[in-house]
Amino acid sequence: MPLYTFHICDAEGFSTCFETRELPFDSAAFPVSGELLTQHLSADHVTVWEDDRPVLSRHRHPPSIRGLNELRAV
C-alpha cells in the first residue's frame, strides 16, 4: 500500500508536525485528515502527500465567500 504523509499545519501554512499512514487509495486520506484536525485543535489545515505528489488539503474552516458589495465596504 502507498505511504501517505499528513502535515498538520498552522494558519501560516507551516507544518507543525506530521504523521504517516499506509492507505489503499487517495480518497481514504480524507477521513484521516478530519481525524487529525479533531486531535490537533491548534491546526488550521492538513495537507496530504503521497511521496512527492500532493493529494489533498483539508481546512478546518471552509473559505468564506462574500459578495462584491461586501468587499468594497472592507
Q: How many domains does the chain have?
A: 1
Local mean pLDDT, 10-residue blocks, the chain (74 residues): 97 95 97 96 95 95 64 49
**Domain boundaries, position 50:** 3-73
What pTM was computed for the model?
Answer: 0.82
Phi-psi bin for 51: left (phi > 0), alpha (psi -120 to 50), beta? left
Query: What pLDDT sits at residue 62?
Result: 74
All 3 cell numbers of residue 18?
Answer: 506530521
